[in-house]
Amino acid sequence: MSVLRQKLEQQIADQDKELSKKKQTVEKLENKVSELEQKLRYLERKVWGSMSEKRRLPEDPSQLQLDFGKLEMSEDEQELVKEALDEIKDYKKVHVKEHVKKVPVRQKLPEYLPRIEEHIYPEGYKGYEDEWILFEDTETSEHLELKPAEFYVRVTVRHKGMRKETKEIITAPVPNEPLAKSYASTSLLTDLMVGKYVDHLPFHRQILIYKRIGVTLPASTIELWFHSVADLMRPTYYRLKELILSKDYIQSDETTIPIVDNEKQKTVKGYLWLVKDIGSNQVFFHYNEGSRGQKVVIQLFKDYKGAIQTDGYTGYSILEKFDGITTLNCWCHARRYYDRALNNDKARAEYALAQIGLLYDVEHMADDQNMDDEQRRQLRVRLAYPLIRAFEKWCVAEYPKVLPKSPIGKALAYTITYTDGLARYVLDGKYRMDTNLIENSVRPVAVGRRNYLFCGNHEAAEDAAVIYSLMGCCKAADVDFKAWMNYFLNNVHEYDADYKKDLAELLPLSLKKNQII
């Protein structure tokens, strides 16, 4: 009897164990289904709906206050938060700008364009004044015409002569051309670079355009010119890197660039790194065989001293161990996580978005009052920092109540993980809340890869990093890249002959300040 009982008990235990396993499996599958449903809703919204992070939330964030339990906040902390909320609310009542819709107006043709007149006379008029009376009053209309580009050959004729006194034969000097022993002129090289990096035209399309104009250029020749121009720019690029890494506040980011791997016979994903000086808006791109590894972070910033602001990429975590480096993170990235979580947990996501929105309201207050860095710092310490501390405590309280892998779970985890880095912007008025400025510098690369698709090898990607860097500096200085390229190619060889001259003089910002361009 006892043996039978033991067998039955063992069977029940085994069945309970099996049932427990099945319950765990069902729970995992349900979580997976929920996760996939969230991804589907996100993708549907991305394709069909609005992706704007600026949502219509209640003016008063207290309207979104949920019954999530009491936060562990002292009375002093609660009072600071209340005072901050009241001040922001009062300011917005008075200073929120009303949107004024612009009325479309037909644009006039620029006055600086040359005018070529054509005169049309009444039908039957043949120029005989005795048969017609022409009025001085006329009717005019303007049409914009385009003169097609054309090639021509500039022939340089160097004359020889002999001084009568010394009987020395002298030949006129060879003018400096951008590329030695090449028939490529400054104007042609500039057009190629502008075509590829401003207009995003692959070289093969430019070859077809030139062919229609009347000249056929081999692809191999153009690729050689491209590499040679990048080599000319490289010393100036290194000087730019040196200047940016000497600043006490920079931002860093990465973006993808497809590279042809000849061994694998396919394109692989490579990475371009960006580093931006927020003070001057100058930027440089860095390429290291397409790597996104932590070794690149060490290579770039091992000697840096100052503040570095980044997104949540884990490769930057090593910077926390470097002496003399202050790390900051990006509120815009935090906000995007909550924006993606709206379909998963609308209540929590909207509450979080409202709290982050309050921090941006503080920045708008500083902007509207044209505050200097110290005034902005004081405003942040008084209004933003108490809100950040309260938001952090809310995130910590809510995280155990959600699924870690759900969109809201990931959003809360991001905020909790990077709270210190997110809060440090209050320490200095020159620090930014987010990395939007450096993300804007990525756009030319993103547009370019949709057009010329890939770089042929690592060397071509390194060349692209050099050219993107100096083109980005042109944009930052509000200098036309074409005008800068012309000046650079015509003057760069002066710095070959005189090593005491500072290559920083060739940077767009310097040329703009000195009113050269």
Q: Select, from the ranges 65-74, 256-265, 284-293, the one with the highest average predicted confidence (pLDDT).
A: 284-293
- Euclidean distance between CA atoms 256 and 128, whole angstroms: 72
Q: Say if residue 402 is in the same domain as residue 486.
A: no
pLDDT at 262: 63
Tell me: the pLDDT tens digits for 4-20? 677 777 777 788 788 87
Does the pLDDT at position 460 exceed 90? no
- 68 confidence band (pLDDT: 50, 70, 90): very low
Q: Quote the crossing angle between the two packed helices 203-213 and 186-197, to the nearest 10°.
A: 130
Tell me: the pLDDT tens digits for 109-133? 889 999 999 988 888 787 766 677 7
Tell me: the pLDDT tens digits for 184-197? 999 999 999 999 88
The residue with greater pLDDT, 285 or 15, is 285
- 272 confidence band (pLDDT: 50, 70, 90): confident
Q: Say if residue 463 is in the same domain as residue 325.
A: yes
pLDDT at 454: 58
- With CA atoms as reference, report the closest residue to 507 among 497, 494, 498, 517: 517
pLDDT at 65: 41
Instruction: Provide mean pLDDT across the span 394-408.
Output: 90
Tell me: the pLDDT tens digits for 69-116? 445 667 777 777 877 887 787 787 777 666 666 777 778 888 999 999
Calculate the alpha carbon distances from 361 to 269, 423, 444, 471, 515 in Å. 38, 15, 30, 33, 38
Neighbours of 92 (CB within 10 A): 15
Q: How many domains does the chain have?
A: 2
Give the residue from 406, 434, 462 where a domain finishes: 434
DSSP 326-370: EEE--HHHHHHHHHHTTTT-HHHHHHHHHHHHHHHHHHHHHHHTT
- Dmax (CA) for the chain in angstroms is 140
pLDDT at 70: 46
Q: Say if residue 242 is in the same domain as residue 377.
A: no
Does the pLDDT at position 212 exceed 70? yes
> Residue 370: left (phi > 0), alpha (psi -120 to 50), or beta?
left
- 363 confidence band (pLDDT: 50, 70, 90): very high
Residue 353 is part of which domain span?
A: 331-434
pLDDT at 13: 78
416 within some domain: yes
408 within some domain: yes
- Euclidean distance between CA atoms 332 and 397, whole angstroms: 22
Tell me: the pLDDT tens digits for 370-397? 999 999 999 999 999 999 989 999 999 9
213 within some domain: no
Does the pLDDT at position 47 exceed 60? no
Q: Say if residue 415 is in the same domain as residue 484.
A: no
Does the pLDDT at position 62 exceed 50? no
Give the residue from 400, 434, 468 where a domain finishes: 434
List 255's β-bridge partners, or say none: 272
Tokens of 373: 């860095």
Q: Select, from the ranges 41-45, 215-219, 258-262, the one with the highest average predicted confidence (pLDDT).
A: 215-219
164 within some domain: no
- Euclidean distance between CA atoms 464 and 178, whole angstroms: 19
Q: Say if residue 355 is in the same domain as residue 429.
A: yes
The overall average pLDDT reported for the chain is: 83
pLDDT at 135: 80
Give the residue from 403, 434, 465 where a domain finishes: 434
pLDDT at 231: 94
CATH of the domain at 258: 3.30.420.10
Q: Say if residue 413 is in the same domain as residue 473.
A: no
| SS3 assignment, position 87 | helix
Q: Say if residue 270 is in the same domain as residue 338.
A: no
67 within some domain: no
Instruction: Provide mean pLDDT across the span 157-181.
Output: 89
Residues listed for the chain: 517
What proportion of the chain, given as a percentage, has pLDDT over 90? 45
Does the pLDDT at position 59 exceed 80? no
Q: Say if residue 469 is in the same domain as residue 427.
A: no
276 within some domain: yes
Instruction: Provide mean pLDDT across the span 274-292.
Output: 90
307 within some domain: yes
Q: Say if residue 292 is in the same domain as residue 348.
A: no
Q: Say if residue 335 is in the same domain as residue 258.
A: no
pLDDT at 242: 96
Q: Say if residue 497 is in the same domain as residue 412.
A: no
pLDDT at 128: 67
The residue with greater pLDDT, 198 or 51, is 198
Q: Say if residue 428 is in the same domain as residue 441.
A: no
Give phi and psi for 331, each to the nearest 5.
-70, -25
Does the pLDDT at position 45 exceed 70? no
84 within some domain: no
pLDDT at 34: 58
